[in-house]
Amino acid sequence: MFGRKKTKDSAPKNRPLVLPETKSLSLHTIRDAAGFDLGLIVDSQFHQATMVLQADNGLLELDEKDTWLDLVCEADATQGVLAASCVSTFCGGDEPDYSFITFRTSAAEVKKDLTGFLTSIAVKAPGLYAPEGYEYSWLPLDAQRVTDLANAHLVADDAERVFPPASMTGRLHADHLHHAGRYSVVFEIDSNDAAGAEAFAEVHAVLCASEMPEALRLIRTARPTHAQYRQVHPDVAPSRTSSLLVVTGDELAIVDGIIGQILAVLSPRARLRLLRLTGRQHLGLLQASCLPVYGWQNQKTFTRTAKAGVAA
């Protein structure tokens, strides 16, 4: 479909790049109230833990994912939910939909009673991945599946899978990524208001209709609206949303061509909602790997230290 144009980045030397956003992550196993082993990602820096899920039916419709995100966010008052995300892959294989829910706590609880915090998540987990009145359900992933998923897009196929995946094979650039022999470009979709939701739905429809062999991923994150604010404004949405588009291919020229095709079929209003995630491209790739590395918690832009290859 696209010409194999050679670029300066077509064959860079791979080297491990330190990803400081993953250094504070650790993986723990606990059995939930339904008898499933949960692989919970604990972030000691931000005092939170994350449960990773896979769609029971493989792929869900957009309204089904939005309904589930609303249900999770509405449970915030009693469940301590910080954010919930859905990750959908279009083309490039038969990957199922994934999701992850992050729960908040205090620094004191993480240090003094981490087991108690994780146990509280295990008790309430089934009510969130299979909520009452929701037609579909998600399947919780164990520690091994979480590890495999976290490493899938970051390191080469023959590399050892460890958690956290503290290094990435490839190079970081301000406007694109080279990772594990592939290239990715990440866009943020301004989707928090009604017009933004329409733009996101339009992008979702375009990707659903696409037959490109390259991987196209959408990440939609919902943060519960503060309970006290909702009491004063009962008509407000249960959550604030943010969205990312990750386009991945074997060559940067191909990725750019795919982006051009997507933009060409979007309406002008929808195109204005897509912003290249300059300086923070790797955050999109981490979230596509179901790692709870959120933009509002990690606001530093990418800089390179030539000798060590550090992204900070």
Identify the DSSP state of 22: G
User: 9 vs 32, which has greater pLDDT?
Assistant: 32
Instruction: Look at residue 211 and tell me whether its pLDDT is greater than 90.
Output: no
Per-residue model confidence (pLDDT) at position 283: 92
Instruction: Look at residue 104 and tell me whether its pLDDT is greater than 80.
Output: yes
Instruction: Look at residue 5 and tell me whether its pLDDT is greater than 60.
Output: no
Q: What is the pTM of this model?
A: 0.88
Q: What percent of the chain has pLDDT over 70?
A: 88
Crossing angle of the two packed helices 252-265 and 194-209, in degrees rounded to 10: 120
Taking alpha carbons only, the member of 91, 94, 92, 114 closest to residue 103 is: 114
CB atoms within 10 A of CB 297: 16
Peptide bond into 164 cis (omega under 30): yes
Instruction: Look at residue 11 and tell me whether its pLDDT is greater than 50.
Output: no
pLDDT tens per residue, range 131-182: 888 888 899 999 999 999 999 888 887 888 889 886 677 788 889 999 888 9
Mean pLDDT of 84-94: 85
Instruction: Look at residue 291 and tell me whether its pLDDT is greater than 60.
Output: yes
- Determine the straight-line distance between the first and last CA of the chain, rounded to whole angstroms: 36
Per-residue model confidence (pLDDT) at position 77: 60
